Amino acid sequence: MPSGVVIGILFPNLTLLTKPFAESIVICMLTVSIFRLDPTEILVTLARIKLILFGTSFILVIVPLLIFLFAHLVNTPIELITILVAWGSCPPLVSMPGLAILIGLNGTAALIILLGATLIFTVTLPILLSVLTENGIDIDPLNMSIKLIIIVGLCLLAAQLFRKLLGNSLAKKIDPSADGLIVILMAFFAITIMGGIHNVWPTNPQKVLIFFLAAISVCVLSQLFCAFTFCKFHRPTAGTIALASGSRNLALLLPVASGVFYDNLWLFLAVIQIPVYFLPIISKPLYRKIYLN
């Protein structure tokens, strides 16, 4: 996955060629990720469903509120505050379940958090953005919510219908291939989204650096805060919640964004790929030490 970031930075023209496919890639990644959710495995995780539901609600509501308060304390530009609140209100990345498994955390819980958060955020995100950012996204909250619900609903129906048609045994056999497809799509998306840096850097490098520092800060601080908050609960599940809090799928807003918010969204999506793709490699030993020992 990190190779996509490197290629996107080194080859600006390639990002221009792939930009028209960005929204389709996002929808495809979400569909494949939901396909990986085996309904029968949910029963095994029901013993800790209260913790999962609480953790999901926490990262979708409490975390963006804290981001908003902290951003104001450090005099963050209004346009960046809007992006940060949007990021904190989004569900986890579609790759998060795979990352959780690689680290040794609760992969099934990660899938449930991903699906639950993806459904819930269609309602909570427009409300939080409307209340906290004075509707600075130039989008009607109700219209935005309806569009997001339609996108997520269609992805959910298509993915689970395809899984049912294949049958559970065959679907399980091709699950590893689905994981591989998600990795390829994420690498391709990283190449595409790096255009956000190339568009702004020649005229406003300071803005790129500010957005980059903000991206690293929210990724790291969100995980640390949730790790501290949930440290007394079931460790693999708590670690999964912490990982989810720092890995958000802001790209889901591409199909519904417009105006200045859309331009800032492209830039932030570009710079945040760097911590999102590289932090799991760095933090893996720490997660193992805290949650698996």
pLDDT per position as a tens digit, 106-163: 777 887 888 888 888 988 988 898 888 764 555 566 776 787 788 878 888 898 899 8
Domain count of the fold of the chain: 1
> Which string of DSSP letters, residue by residue, matches 70-118?
HHHHTT--HHHHHHHHHHHTSPBPTTHHHHHHHHTS-HHHHHHHHHHHH
Cα 260 to Cα 248: distance, rounded to the nearest angstrom: 21
- Least-confidence region, from 10-24, 70-84, 277-291: 277-291
Domain CATH code at residue 239: 1.20.1530.20
Do 270 and 197 contact (CB within 8 A), yes or no? yes
**For 226-249, how does the pLDDT look when each residue is reduced to its tens digit (9 = 90+)?**
988 998 887 888 889 999 999 898
Tally: H helices and E strands in the chain: 15, 0
Q: Residue 131 carries which side chain, given as an amino acid letter? A: V
Q: What sign has the CA pseudo-torsion 221, 222, 223, 226?
A: positive
Do 102 and 239 contact (CB within 8 A), yes or no? no
Do 167 and 160 contact (CB within 8 A), yes or no? no
> Which string of DSSP letters, residue by residue, matches 139-199?
S-HHHHHHHHHHHHHHHHHHHHHHHHHH-HHHHHHHHHHHHHHHHHHHHHHHHHHTHHHHH
Range of the domain at 199: 2-291
Instruction: Say which residues have a Cβ less than 8 Å from residue 108's Cβ, sequence separation at least 6.
Output: 41, 42, 44, 45
pLDDT tier at 56, thresholds 50, 70, 90? very high
**According to the model, what pLDDT value does residue 219 have?**
92
Q: What sign has the CA pseudo-torsion 191, 197, 200, 202?
A: negative
Do 26 and 254 contact (CB within 8 A), yes or no? yes
**According to the model, what pLDDT value does residue 191 have?**
85
**For 161-216, how does the pLDDT look when each residue is reduced to its tens digit (9 = 90+)?**
998 898 878 888 887 888 788 888 888 888 888 877 888 888 899 999 999 999 99
Highest-scoring range by mean pLDDT, 70-74, 143-147, 162-166, 281-285 = 70-74
**According to the model, what pLDDT value does residue 206 have?**
94
Q: How much is the average pLDDT of 69-76?
A: 92
**According to the model, what pLDDT value does residue 80 have?**
92
Cα 278 to Cα 272: distance, rounded to the nearest angstrom: 10
Q: How much is the average pLDDT of 279-284?
A: 78
**What is the number of residues in the chain?**
293
**According to the model, what pLDDT value does residue 8 have?**
80
